[in-house]
Structure 1
Amino acid sequence: MITKDTIRDTVYELYKQAAIVLGEDVKKSLEDALEIEENELAILNIKAILKNIELAKEKGIPMCQDTGLPVVFVKLGNVEVENLREGIEEGIKKATTDIPIRPNIVDPLTRENTNINVGDYIPPIDIELVDEDYLEITILPKGFGSENNNALKMALPAEGIEGVKEFVVESVLKAKGKPCPPTVIGVGIGGTSDLCLKLGKKALLGKIGERNPDPQIAKLEEEILEEINASGIGPMGLGGKTTALDVKILKAHTHTAGLPVGVCVQCWADRHATTRIFDD
């Protein structure tokens, strides 16, 4: 059995890793953006971001003061698990006090802080059942400077691919510098209103620079990325060639009468960490 204590300790380590160490794929995409940049202010901003990443890792402290709302993705295989949610919540509480990370979770109406980064329905846990012999846990700390710029459109089927592309680009350009670009844009297409937004967030877990295996989706990712970067919004919204590091798209089948599109905006700190626990 995978015990609650094992889950707690794993979630703590994942949150610590995600908050402090940025993935090499994201770091490289920022370095690539620096190489092609000509705008002096954009160069200054990207260098500051890269220095920030270096110092966070060196000093073992979170790379951003907004350590996010913890979003958890779980792949549950053919293993026996003890108190999954309780173990996840205890891991987040431990991370909050021991790393430490900023307590961000409040009641939406009274604004009273729980001080433990856990609350009603928080963390949101997405569980996918898989025919494997492990439990996989991913932590994605989602900052709200970017989350506040997410967008949903219940498009009509007649709007088609061009309508999808137009909505995604418009949503990102409308955000301008608010989500701390260069951003990573996750897009969910299809499903229901809630599912397409969830897919958009899940898309952020994909490796920067890797295209969707579906050629039609891959082409759409490239076209949207090109249009966003042609805007000149640039790093921190102060001008430059790179407004988005990548666009990642996931799709689901949907109702014949609908074409839901969810846009999930992520800041340059596209933080997440994953591990697998085997029952042995």
Structure 2
Amino acid sequence: MRELSVLEITKAVKELCIQANMVLPCDLRERIEKQAEAEPFPLAKEVMGDIRDNIYCAQEIGVPICQDTGMAVIFLELGQEVHLTGGDLNAAVDEGVRQGYVEGKLRCSVVEDPLRRINTNDNTPAILHLSIVPGEQVKITAAPKGFGSENMSAMRMFTPSATKEDIINYIVEQINTAGSNPCPPMVVGVGIGGDFEKCAYLAKKALCRAVSQPNPDQFYADMEQELLCRINQLGIGPQGFGGETTALAVNIEAFPTHIAGLPVAVNVGCHVTRHAEMTL
């Protein structure tokens, strides 16, 4: 049994919140660079170039890539051979978020009650997704989520009679409805299966998979490519100015479901779909 102080988790969460907001994952940077070169529409090409330059400027001078530094979403995989010491895990995660956002001078966007709307002034509490896994390591992923894109997400409880084409049409329709609101080009996370809440979790988790890494199941990998092609044919383009680059990637995560259901969730990420991870 390995002992690990929750202070180490606080420190890691703090670092990851700052890193994720200032440095985009390399595979996503590369995809943006590629599309900046490949985009055939002059205005769209110029916008893609501005997006590319903004990413490198933010990293160089140490400021957030986007002014909306998001609600802190933390995925924490806790090895079952780890014994946490020194305090409460949830409090330790929130303390890491507090330190990261306050000391990192990141915008604090969380309100303590959804209707009374008083800002907590430190971006807590975080959204914590905790899973117990084999081993004696702790893997932490910080995925700050801006709400310009989050607000464009959707979910539908299909019946089992729905076809693959029905699901594809639904996803494409959601992106078409979203239009320029989520700051395209987007990364589209899709969850299929599970139940109501599991499906939404899968869609959010999908946004943390590298855009260069297709689904390991060829059936879903092909579906990802078909969706990407269909979405880019919508012509929304970078920041809604038209063009062929409406989405940078579509990531699908699937899970077993009930014989009577077929849940589908779409979680939209903007062109700065941020995440950073660390293993302790």
TM-score (normalizing by structure 1): 0.96
Q: Kindly, what percent of the aligned residue pairs are identical?
A: 42
2:237 counterpart letter in structure 1: G
Map of 2:7 onto structure 1 = 5
2:116 to 101, 110, 122: 110
Is residue 128 of structure 2 the alignment partner of residue 125 of structure 1? Answer: yes
**Which whole-Å CA distance do the structure 2 matches of 1:45 and 1:27 have between them?**
15
**Which whole-Å CA distance do the structure 2 matches of 1:160 and 1:21 have between them?**
39
Map of 1:19 onto structure 2 = 21
Map of 1:142 onto structure 2 = 145
Is residue 260 of structure 2 the alignment partner of residue 257 of structure 1? Answer: yes
Contact 2:27 2:210 (C-alpha < 8 Å) held by counterparts? yes
Map of 1:236-255 to 2, 5 A cutoff?
236-255=239-258
**Which whole-Å CA distance do the structure 2 matches of 1:8 and 1:113 have between them?**
22
Residue 261 (structure 1) shift: 0.2
RMSD: 0.9
Contact 1:45 1:235 (C-alpha < 8 Å) held by counterparts? yes
2:277 to 252, 257, 274: 274
SS of the residue corresponding to residue 279 of structure 2 reads: strand
SS of the residue corresponding to residue 63 of structure 1 reads: coil
Map of 1:151 onto structure 2 = 154
1:98 to 103, 108, 122: 103
Residue 163 (structure 1) shift: 1.3
> Where in structure 1 are there 5+ consecutive unaligned residues?
none
Map of 1:191-270 to 2, 5 A cutoff?
191-270=194-273
Contact 1:71 1:142 (C-alpha < 8 Å) held by counterparts? yes
Map of 2:34 onto structure 1 = 32
**Which whole-Å CA distance do the structure 2 matches of 1:209 and 1:246 have between them?**
8
**Which whole-Å CA distance do the structure 1 matches of 2:75 and 2:256 have between them?**
21
1:165 to 161, 164, 168: 168
Is residue 180 of structure 2 the alignment partner of residue 177 of structure 1? Answer: yes
**Which whole-Å CA distance do the structure 2 matches of 1:248 and 1:110 have between them?**
35
Residue 276 (structure 1) shift: 0.6
**Which whole-Å CA distance do the structure 1 matches of 2:165 and 2:156 have between them?**
14
**Which whole-Å CA distance do the structure 1 matches of 2:83 and 2:228 have between them?**
42
SS of the residue corresponding to residue 234 of structure 2 reads: coil
**Which whole-Å CA distance do the structure 1 matches of 2:192 and 2:243 have between them?**
29
1:62 to 61, 64, 83: 64
TM-score (normalizing by structure 2): 0.96
1:114 counterpart letter in structure 2: T
SS of the residue corresponding to residue 212 of structure 2 reads: coil
Where has structure 1 moved over 4 Å in runs of 4 or more?
none
Provide Cα deviations, 1:28-78, integer angstroms capped at 9, x if missing partner.
000111121121111111111111111111111111100000001011102
**Which whole-Å CA distance do the structure 2 matches of 1:59 and 1:79 have between them?**
38
SS of the residue corresponding to residue 152 of structure 1 reads: strand
**Which whole-Å CA distance do the structure 1 matches of 2:108 and 2:38 have between them?**
38
SS of the residue corresponding to residue 236 of structure 2 reads: coil
Provide Cα deviations, 1:77-97, integer angstroms capped at 9, x if missing partner.
021113221111111111121
2:92 counterpart letter in structure 1: G
Residue 225 (structure 1) shift: 0.6
**Which whole-Å CA distance do the structure 2 matches of 1:210 and 1:8 have between them?**
29
Contact 1:140 1:273 (C-alpha < 8 Å) held by counterparts? yes
SS of the residue corresponding to residue 91 of structure 1 reads: helix
Residue 209 (structure 1) shift: 2.5
Contact 1:4 1:86 (C-alpha < 8 Å) held by counterparts? no
Residue 257 (structure 1) shift: 0.7
**Which whole-Å CA distance do the structure 2 matches of 1:208 and 1:61 have between them?**
24
**Which whole-Å CA distance do the structure 2 matches of 1:259 and 1:4 have between them?**
39
How many aligned residue pairs are there?
274
